[in-house]
Every structure is written in C-alpha cells, then in structure tokens.
Amino acid sequence: MPPVGTLWGKRHQPQTKIILSVAALNNLELEEPEWHFFKRPGEYNSKFTYNKIPTFEDSDGFRLMEGATIARYLCGLGTKVNLSGSDAKEIAIVDQWVHFVEHEIGKWGYNYMCTVYGIYGSLNREFLDKQVERLFRSLDYVEAHFATRPSGYLVSDSVTLADLVLAGAIYDVSLTALGATERAKYPLVFGHYVKVTGNEKVKQFWEMENFTEVAITELTPFPYS
C-alpha cells in the first residue's frame, strides 16, 4: 500500500508518537521527511505558515496541523481497528477523554516542561508548584477511573485514540515532572502506559528509558534540536 501522506514531526514528540501509533494499528504508511526545529525548509514554511509540527499532507495537497486532529483523521482512514469508538456514544466518550487529557494533563505537563527548560524565561517556583498541583489532581482522577475498568483501557475493551493520547501525555510528563517516586503513586495509570505502548505494532515508537528518576525542578538545557 502506498503512503497515505507525509507526516512532519519528531519522534520524541508525544503527538508524533500518537499519530505513528494510529497509522501502525490501522496498517497505514506515512512518509517521514527529516525536520529540524531551528532549520525549517522553505517548502515547509510555505505550506504551513504557522511553522509548527506535527503536520500532515496527502497526495491531493490536503493539509492538517495539530496532533489530535491528524490522529483522528488517520483513525477514519483505517479499517483494521476501531480507534474512534463503535457508536455515537462511545465516539463522544473517546473524544471526551482526548480533550480531558490534552487540557488537564498535557497542559500542566507542557507548562512544567517550558518552565524547567527555560522556554518561559526565569524559573518561577510558585508557578511550577501550581502545575504539579493541577497535574496530580488530574492523575488522581484518571487513577480512580482505571480502578473501575477491568479491561485496563479508558473507554472500551480494546485500545482507542483516547488511550494513545493518554500514553502520549504520560510519556511527556515523565520526562520532567514525574520522577520514580511520583510515578509510583499511580500504578494503574502507568500500568495502562505499559499495556498500550507494549503492543507489538506500536512499541517501536515508545520507551521508558529516558523517564526522569527525579522530578526536574531547576532550569535545564532544552535537550532537542
């Protein structure tokens, strides 16, 4: 099968990991050209004037940006797995979790990352602590939800886009905000991460080796280029 389109992204990004996982589960091929944060090719800039990744373009010139949007689109192209939900109610619940994770886990994790990597300027300890407080509140909620889910998945008895989005957020916060001590407080959440990312089709895109052992609380050089 020819590629369904081109994905510009970096494999360390949770959004890119999610998109690649959706494509793999749905037996879709994607082209992945090389991309650098600070050396964007002129052709890319002319197509995506906001200059962000991940972005997607198909052979017809149809273009998308935003990770969850690209992932949803690829869910609709595949026929091998039902990643969006099996009926209107389940689709809504999957979407509910996607938005919850992005706004109630991803948001606080992103703010934390930008603080300790100096993207927001000097380190504001009060601001950093507030992100942790909100992050723990959200993780407490998800942990309690998993206690009611014998399947180990957020919505149904198999993986959905919601599970992949949660895995992406957990990956991201575990690089900076959640050390081993904090992760130990959420065994069901991290059990879910292992379950979702251990799938043979997607495990190449995920890892745990670079999870921080101790939460980063001081200014640290940005590790990606």
List pLDDT tens digits, range 158-177. 999 999 999 999 999 999 99
Same domain, 62 and 119: no
pLDDT band at 41; cut points 50, 70, 90: low
Same domain, 107 and 63: no
Whether 171 contacts 178, CB under 8 Å: no
Q: Is residue 177 part of a domain?
A: yes
* Secondary structure of the chain as H, E, C letters: CCCCEEEECCCCCHHHHHHHHHHHHCCCCEECCCCCCCCCCHHHHHHCCCCCCCEEECCCCCEEECHHHHHHHHHHHCCCCCCCCCCHHHHHHHHHHHHHHHHHHHHHHHHHHHHHCCCCCCCCHHHHHHHHHHHHHHHHHHHHHHCCCCCCCCCCCCCCHHHHHHHHHHHHHCCCCCCHHHHCCCHHHHHHHHHHHCCCCCHHHCCCCCCCCCCCCCCCCCCCC
Same domain, 200 and 164: yes
**Tens digits of residue pLDDT in 53-86:** 999 999 999 999 999 999 999 999 977 788 999 9
Same domain, 163 and 198: yes
Residue 114, CA atoms < 13 Å, CB-side half-sphere: 11
Same domain, 135 and 193: yes
Same domain, 135 and 26: no
Question: How remote is the C-alpha of 45 from its chain's centroid?
Answer: 24
Same domain, 73 and 152: no
Same domain, 95 and 170: yes
The whole-number average pLDDT for the span 125-134 is 97
Same domain, 46 and 106: no
**Tens digits of residue pLDDT in 189-205:** 999 999 999 999 999 99
Q: Is residue 213 part of a domain?
A: no
Query: For residues 39 and 60, which has the higher predicted lDDT (pLDDT)?
Result: 60
Q: Is residue 214 part of a domain?
A: no
Strand partners, 56: 7, 64
Q: Domain with 15 in it: what CATH number?
A: 3.40.30.10
Residue 36, pLDDT > 90, answer: no
Q: Is residue 160 part of a domain?
A: yes
Q: What is the per-residue pLDDT for 40?
A: 66
How many folded domains does the chain comprise?
Answer: 2
Query: What is the span of the domain harbouring residue 127?
Result: 88-205
Q: List Cα–Cα distances, 216 to 51, 83, 102, 134, in angstroms.
A: 28, 34, 21, 17
